[in-house]
Chains A and B, each alone.
Chain A
Protein backbone atom coordinates (compact mmCIF):
# COMPACT_ATOMS: atom_id res chain seq x y z
CA UNK A 1 0.00 0.00 0.00
CA UNK A 2 1.29 3.45 -0.90
CA UNK A 3 0.77 5.30 2.37
CA UNK A 4 1.14 9.04 2.60
CA UNK A 5 2.53 11.40 5.23
CA UNK A 6 1.40 15.01 5.53
CA UNK A 7 1.46 17.63 8.30
CA UNK A 8 -1.33 17.37 10.85
CA UNK A 9 -2.10 21.09 10.76
CA UNK A 10 -1.11 24.40 9.18
CA UNK A 11 -2.03 28.01 9.85
CA UNK A 12 -2.17 30.81 7.31
CA UNK A 13 -3.59 34.30 6.79
CA UNK A 14 -5.97 35.51 4.15
CA UNK A 15 -4.29 36.40 0.86
CA UNK A 16 -1.25 34.19 1.41
CA UNK A 17 -0.21 31.25 -0.74
CA UNK A 18 -0.35 27.93 1.10
CA UNK A 19 1.73 24.90 0.19
CA UNK A 20 0.93 21.51 1.71
CA UNK A 21 3.48 18.78 1.08
CA UNK A 22 2.71 15.08 1.05
CA UNK A 23 5.27 12.28 1.19
CA UNK A 24 4.60 8.97 -0.62
CA UNK A 25 7.89 7.13 -0.76
CA UNK A 26 6.63 3.82 -2.16
CA UNK A 27 4.40 5.12 -4.90
CA UNK A 28 4.01 2.64 -7.76
CA UNK A 29 4.54 3.32 -11.45
CA UNK A 30 0.83 3.35 -12.27
CA UNK A 31 -0.28 5.40 -9.25
CA UNK A 32 -1.71 8.91 -9.41
CA UNK A 33 -1.66 11.54 -6.65
CA UNK A 34 -5.06 12.92 -5.71
CA UNK A 35 -6.08 15.65 -3.26
CA UNK A 36 -9.43 16.10 -1.56
CA UNK A 37 -10.85 18.91 0.58
CA UNK A 38 -13.29 18.36 3.43
CA UNK A 39 -15.34 21.01 5.22
CA UNK A 40 -16.97 20.26 8.59
CA UNK A 41 -20.17 18.23 8.30
CA UNK A 42 -19.58 17.50 4.61
CA UNK A 43 -18.11 14.70 2.57
CA UNK A 44 -14.68 15.16 0.93
CA UNK A 45 -14.55 16.96 -2.40
CA UNK A 46 -12.05 16.24 -5.18
CA UNK A 47 -9.63 19.14 -5.79
CA UNK A 48 -6.90 18.02 -8.16
CA UNK A 49 -5.03 14.99 -9.47
CA UNK A 50 -1.68 14.53 -11.18
CA UNK A 51 0.86 11.96 -12.32
CA UNK A 52 4.04 14.01 -12.78
CA UNK A 53 5.36 17.58 -13.15
CA UNK A 54 2.68 20.24 -12.66
CA UNK A 55 -1.08 20.33 -12.89
CA UNK A 56 -3.17 23.47 -12.48
CA UNK A 57 -6.90 24.06 -12.34
CA UNK A 58 -9.13 26.91 -11.21
CA UNK A 59 -8.74 25.93 -7.55
CA UNK A 60 -5.15 24.79 -7.01
CA UNK A 61 -1.84 23.65 -8.45
CA UNK A 62 -0.13 20.34 -7.86
CA UNK A 63 3.64 20.01 -8.13
CA UNK A 64 5.20 16.56 -8.46
CA UNK A 65 9.00 16.13 -8.69
CA UNK A 66 10.61 13.68 -11.08
CA UNK A 67 11.03 10.92 -8.48
CA UNK A 68 7.32 11.25 -7.54
CA UNK A 69 8.08 10.45 -3.88
CA UNK A 70 6.37 13.62 -2.75
CA UNK A 71 3.89 16.18 -4.00
CA UNK A 72 2.88 19.72 -3.05
CA UNK A 73 -0.61 21.15 -3.17
CA UNK A 74 -0.50 24.91 -3.69
CA UNK A 75 -3.49 27.12 -2.86
CA UNK A 76 -3.03 30.67 -4.17
CA UNK A 77 -4.26 33.61 -2.11
CA UNK A 78 -6.31 31.66 0.43
CA UNK A 79 -9.46 33.04 2.00
CA UNK A 80 -11.33 32.15 5.19
CA UNK A 81 -13.47 29.74 3.18
CA UNK A 82 -10.39 27.60 2.43
CA UNK A 83 -10.31 26.53 6.08
CA UNK A 84 -10.75 22.77 5.79
CA UNK A 85 -8.98 19.41 6.03
CA UNK A 86 -6.93 18.45 2.97
CA UNK A 87 -6.23 14.80 2.17
CA UNK A 88 -3.48 13.45 -0.06
CA UNK A 89 -4.09 10.02 -1.58
CA UNK A 90 -2.11 7.78 -3.86
CA UNK A 91 -4.50 5.94 -6.17
CA UNK A 92 -4.15 3.44 -8.99
CA UNK A 93 -4.18 -0.02 -7.55
CA UNK A 94 -7.15 -1.83 -6.15
CA UNK A 95 -10.05 0.36 -5.09
CA UNK A 96 -9.85 -1.40 -1.74
CA UNK A 97 -6.43 0.12 -1.10
CA UNK A 98 -7.53 3.75 -0.96
CA UNK A 99 -6.21 5.28 2.26
CA UNK A 100 -7.30 8.76 3.32
CA UNK A 101 -5.18 9.17 6.44
CA UNK A 102 -5.81 12.01 8.88
CA UNK A 103 -5.18 14.82 6.42
CA UNK A 104 -3.88 18.35 7.04
CA UNK A 105 -6.14 20.74 8.91
CA UNK A 106 -5.65 24.18 7.36
CA UNK A 107 -6.79 27.17 9.39
CA UNK A 108 -6.96 30.51 7.56
CA UNK A 109 -7.08 33.58 9.79
CA UNK A 110 -8.18 37.13 8.91
Chain B
Protein backbone atom coordinates (compact mmCIF):
# COMPACT_ATOMS: atom_id res chain seq x y z
CA UNK B 1 0.00 0.00 0.00
CA UNK B 2 1.84 3.10 -1.25
CA UNK B 3 -0.26 5.76 0.55
CA UNK B 4 0.57 9.19 -0.88
CA UNK B 5 3.06 9.32 -3.74
CA UNK B 6 4.70 12.53 -4.92
CA UNK B 7 6.74 13.04 -8.08
CA UNK B 8 9.35 14.20 -8.66
CA UNK B 9 11.35 13.96 -5.42
CA UNK B 10 13.82 16.67 -6.47
CA UNK B 11 13.77 19.39 -9.11
CA UNK B 12 15.85 22.41 -10.03
CA UNK B 13 14.26 25.14 -12.13
CA UNK B 14 15.33 28.46 -13.55
CA UNK B 15 13.37 31.60 -12.75
CA UNK B 16 10.39 31.90 -15.09
CA UNK B 17 10.13 28.21 -15.93
CA UNK B 18 6.93 26.32 -15.28
CA UNK B 19 6.42 22.94 -13.68
CA UNK B 20 3.74 20.66 -12.31
CA UNK B 21 4.14 18.64 -9.13
CA UNK B 22 2.17 15.42 -9.11
CA UNK B 23 0.44 13.73 -6.19
CA UNK B 24 -1.57 10.53 -6.05
CA UNK B 25 -3.18 8.65 -3.16
CA UNK B 26 -4.52 5.11 -3.04
CA UNK B 27 -6.53 5.31 0.21
CA UNK B 28 -9.81 6.40 -1.41
CA UNK B 29 -9.64 9.70 0.50
CA UNK B 30 -11.97 12.53 -0.38
CA UNK B 31 -9.73 15.42 0.63
CA UNK B 32 -6.28 16.35 -0.62
CA UNK B 33 -3.87 19.16 0.29
CA UNK B 34 -0.70 20.92 -0.87
CA UNK B 35 1.68 22.46 1.68
CA UNK B 36 5.03 24.15 1.49
CA UNK B 37 7.68 24.01 4.20
CA UNK B 38 10.54 26.49 4.36
CA UNK B 39 13.65 25.97 6.55
CA UNK B 40 12.86 26.23 10.25
CA UNK B 41 9.19 26.78 9.54
CA UNK B 42 6.06 24.77 9.92
CA UNK B 43 3.90 23.71 7.01
CA UNK B 44 1.79 26.33 5.28
CA UNK B 45 -1.29 25.34 3.31
CA UNK B 46 -1.23 26.40 -0.35
CA UNK B 47 -4.44 24.86 -1.71
CA UNK B 48 -6.76 22.07 -0.74
CA UNK B 49 -9.50 20.03 -2.34
CA UNK B 50 -12.27 18.97 0.01
CA UNK B 51 -13.69 16.59 -2.57
CA UNK B 52 -13.34 15.65 -6.21
CA UNK B 53 -14.27 18.62 -8.37
CA UNK B 54 -13.59 21.32 -5.77
CA UNK B 55 -10.49 23.32 -4.87
CA UNK B 56 -9.96 26.16 -2.42
CA UNK B 57 -7.17 28.54 -1.48
CA UNK B 58 -5.19 28.07 1.67
CA UNK B 59 -2.87 30.44 3.48
CA UNK B 60 -0.33 31.05 0.66
CA UNK B 61 -1.93 30.45 -2.77
CA UNK B 62 -0.28 33.24 -4.79
CA UNK B 63 1.87 31.97 -7.67
CA UNK B 64 0.29 28.51 -7.71
CA UNK B 65 -2.58 26.70 -9.41
CA UNK B 66 -4.03 23.28 -8.68
CA UNK B 67 -6.07 20.64 -10.45
CA UNK B 68 -8.04 17.84 -8.83
CA UNK B 69 -7.80 15.51 -11.80
CA UNK B 70 -9.87 12.73 -10.21
CA UNK B 71 -10.35 11.32 -6.73
CA UNK B 72 -6.80 9.94 -6.64
CA UNK B 73 -4.77 12.80 -8.11
CA UNK B 74 -4.12 16.40 -7.12
CA UNK B 75 -1.49 18.41 -8.97
CA UNK B 76 0.23 21.70 -8.14
CA UNK B 77 1.46 23.97 -10.93
CA UNK B 78 3.95 26.80 -10.84
CA UNK B 79 3.33 28.86 -13.99
CA UNK B 80 6.37 31.15 -13.70
CA UNK B 81 8.71 29.98 -10.96
CA UNK B 82 10.35 32.53 -8.66
CA UNK B 83 13.26 32.06 -6.21
CA UNK B 84 10.82 32.71 -3.34
CA UNK B 85 9.10 29.45 -4.26
CA UNK B 86 12.19 27.42 -3.39
CA UNK B 87 10.85 25.08 -0.74
CA UNK B 88 9.85 21.53 0.13
CA UNK B 89 6.34 20.74 -1.06
CA UNK B 90 4.19 18.16 0.68
CA UNK B 91 0.98 16.60 -0.54
CA UNK B 92 -1.46 15.05 1.92
CA UNK B 93 -4.83 13.33 1.88
CA UNK B 94 -7.51 12.63 4.44
CA UNK B 95 -11.07 11.51 4.92
CA UNK B 96 -13.98 13.85 4.35
CA UNK B 97 -13.92 15.69 7.69
CA UNK B 98 -11.21 18.09 8.85
CA UNK B 99 -10.73 16.19 12.11
CA UNK B 100 -9.63 13.06 10.28
CA UNK B 101 -5.84 12.51 10.21
CA UNK B 102 -3.88 13.57 7.18
CA UNK B 103 -1.50 11.20 5.46
CA UNK B 104 1.55 12.84 3.90
CA UNK B 105 3.86 12.04 1.03
CA UNK B 106 7.64 12.30 1.35
CA UNK B 107 7.82 15.68 -0.32
CA UNK B 108 9.27 17.32 -3.42
CA UNK B 109 12.40 19.41 -2.90
CA UNK B 110 12.24 22.29 -5.36
CA UNK B 111 15.04 24.79 -5.97
CA UNK B 112 14.57 27.80 -8.22
CA UNK B 113 17.67 29.59 -9.38
Binding site for B on A (CB under 8 A): 31-32, 34, 36, 41-46, 49, 87, 91-103
Contacts and interface: CB of A to CB of B under 8 A. Distances in A.
24 contacts: A32-B99, A41-B107, A43-B92, A43-B105, A43-B106, A43-B107, A44-B43, A44-B90, A44-B102, A49-B101, A94-B98, A95-B48, A95-B50, A95-B94, A96-B56, A96-B57, A98-B33, A98-B45, A99-B42, A100-B35, A100-B42, A100-B43, A100-B44, A102-B40
Contacts of B94: 95
Interface residues of B, number: 28
B106 A95 contact: no
Nearest to A94: B98
A43 to B, nearest CB: 3
B90 to A, nearest CB: 5
Contacts of A92: 98-99
A34 B56 contact: no
B104 interface: yes
Majority secondary structure, A binding face: loop
Contacts of B99: 31-32, 34, 49, 91-92
Contacts of A31: 99
A95 B98 contact: yes
Contacts of B90: 43-44
Given A43-B92, A96-B57, A98-B45, 17 more contacts: A32-B99, A34-B99, A41-B106, A41-B107, A42-B104, A43-B104, A44-B43, A44-B90, A46-B101, A46-B103, A49-B99, A91-B99, A93-B98, A94-B98, A96-B58, A99-B59, A102-B42
